Structure 1
Amino acid sequence: MYGSACTVSGVMTRSVVALAAGAGFKEIVRTLRTQGISALPVLDPDNRVVGVVSEADLLRKEEFRDSDEAAHTRTGPVAGREKARAGTVTELMTSPAVTVDPDAPLAAAARLMARRGVKRLPVVDADGVLQGIVSRGDLLRVFLRPDQEIADEVRHRVVGGRFPDGIGPVRVQVNEGVVTLAGPVRDVSVVLLAERLVRSVEGVVDVRCELTGPRHRPVPEPGLAAEQPTGT
């Protein structure tokens, strides 16, 4: 599953609990509690994802309960009050669902989760058919990658491919995901690029760059060249 091209398909859960579009309110509650999750994808008869229903959607019924005197005067979004009267998953779900492609990079999935404020994403193919589910926890699994695998990738795909001298003069060490690059390089202009590329490797926690440029011999001032001693 590892490598710079690591994608959602490599970390997603393929066995997914989902609801049919006709599921009722109590069935939704039972499924959420039984599975110990907070949201479920909703599928049409062709297994295409048409929405997502969450605990927040179900709690609208409590928020706007008729027995609550304050509920009659409480203001709120029209959609929230409508969901409070809903009895089926089709009426309760959020649609369209926020989904992700199985070939999407993990970083793209993480940004999508953060931007849309969701904890998990249904993974769908080009036709919208459910392929799996990816959660925040799945995305964090990449940081369990062994140090040796990270070091091998950095040596062969980053350092070996970018530095003119290959991997010979550059030492790569990885400890708990922290990569240290050390040694001399001929061209200091590649140092910042190398650091950025190493940070893009899956599982890297941080980069410590101890690379140094070539040492230059001092150039003597004009007219101060060493004079040969003369005999007397």
Structure 2
Amino acid sequence: MLARQIMSAPVVSACPKTTLLRAIELMLETGVSGLPVIDAQGALVGILTEGDLLRRVELNSEVRRPRWIQYLRSPGTLAEEYAHSRGRMVEEVMSSPVTTVAEDASVREIIEVMTRNRIRRVPIVRASAVVGMVSRADIVRALGTALAAEVPHRSRSDAEIRRDILAEFDRAVCIPKAAIDVNVRGGAVELRGCITDERERGAVHAAVENVPGVTGLRDHLTWVEPLSGTVLLSPDDEKDRGAGVDAQPAAENGAPVEGGRP
């Protein structure tokens, strides 16, 4: 999935000489959280985001530092903070320079850029022209589309499902495969064994849930705390115990259960 496939376009932008009030009105009218700032020659010179508007004298939220700390900071830094908290024009408040990505960048690359630079949105450029914007919301929307577009799978045997689960356990080094029994019947997966870190349970569930053909999951994995040796039941077993249900496995009509300890 590429930037041009998920970006928001056309771009809502501001000029350096746009008033801050007008820029705020534009953000509220269009529902965007950041405006690229483009000069008269079409060059991207900055970006105005919600984060740039948090430290304002009008909100009594400007940066305040003890006088002795101010003496230790450069005059340029102090001037920049002053302009950000009091400026009335976009060029005085915007962030610059701007991190951008090309329109053929992958979603993975975009996420890495956002994470590395600690930003929430990034302009998408073609040559030097801004053609779109990708925000965290656009990435979440793309994820939702991908999940909704999953293709229905063909009917699969219990043996195939179990094989794929164990293969995924092998790929995920965080899962203690040797300590887990995987049983599959009619697409429903039953897990028995133990884990030594409760966080492993989430990884095990994710591995099982992503295997095509799985129709359900029953977790009987106990959590054995390594230091104290305390044994805690799984949430499913705790729920069964509270309801007075026997959590031991039972073969229906004497039918064998597919699987066993790998």
Q: TM-score, normalised by structure 2?
A: 0.50
1:102–1:87: structure 2 CA closer, same or farther, 3 Å change rule? Answer: same
State the alpha-carbon separation in 1 of the partners of residues 10 and 116 from structure 2. Answer: 26
Aligned to 1:9: 4
1:53 Cα deviation from its structure 2 partner: 0.8
Report whether the alignment pairs 1:30 with 2:25: yes
Tell whether the 8 Å contact from 1:64 to 1:81 is kept in structure 2 after alignment. no
SS of 1:40 mapped into structure 2: strand
Q: Which residue of 2 aligns with 1:126?
A: 127
Match of 1:60 among 52, 55, 68: 55
2:117 counterpart residue number: 116
Percent identity of paired positions between Structure 1 and Structure 2: 26
The whole-number CA distance in structure 1 between the counterparts of 2:25 and 2:15 is: 14
More helix by share: 2
Compute the displacement of 1:56 (Å): 2.5
Residue 95 of structure 2 corresponds to residue 94 of structure 1: yes
What residue number does 1:137 align with? 137
Kindly provide the amino acid, as one letter, of the partner of residue 112 in structure 2: R
Cα distance in 1 for partners of 2:99, 2:39 equals: 16
Structure 1 residues 134 and 72, CA gap change in structure 2 (3 angstroms): closer
- Identify if the C-alpha distance between structure 1 residues 172 and 90 changes in structure 2 by more than 3 Å, giving closer, same or farther: farther
TM-score normalised to structure 1 length: 0.56
1:4-59 per-residue CA deviation (whole Å, 9 max, x = no partner) reads xx211111111221101211121122112222332211011233321111223233
Instruction: Report deviation, 1:72.
Output: 8.1
1:102-143 CA distances to partner (integer Å, 9 max, x unpaired)?
11110110111122222211111222x111011112222333
**One-letter code aligned to 1:21:** P
Unaligned runs of 5+ in 1: 1-5, 152-170, 174-179, 193-204, 210-232
Contact 1:63 1:71 in 2 (8 A): no
Does the CA contact (< 8 Å) of 1:64 and 1:71 recur in 2? no
SS in 1 for 2:101: coil
Corresponding residue for residue 168 of structure 1: none
Larger radius of gyration: 1
CA deviation profile, 1:65-90 (whole Å, cap 9, x unmatched)? 59x9x958576752222322322111
Equivalent runs, 1:1-232 vs 2, <5 Å: 6-62=1-57, 71=64, 73=66, 78=78, 79-127=80-128, 129-143=129-143, 144-145=145-146, 146-148=149-151, 182=163, 207-208=210-211
3-state SS of 2:131 partner? strand
Partner SS state of residue 140, structure 1 = helix
Aligned-partner Cα distance in 2 for 1:172–1:105:
33
Shift of 1:64: 8.5
Structure 1 residues 124 and 29, CA, compared in 2 at 3 Å: closer, same or farther?
same
Question: Aligned in 2, Cα 1:98/1:182: closer, same or farther, shift over 3 Å?
Answer: same
Q: 1:90 to 1:208 in 2, by over 3 A?
A: same
Q: 1:47–1:65: structure 2 CA closer, same or farther, 3 Å change rule?
A: same
* Contiguous gaps of at least 5 residues in structure 2: 71-76, 172-205, 213-262
Structure 1 contact 172–182 (Cα < 8 Å) conserved: no
CA contact (8 A) 1:172 1:181 kept: no
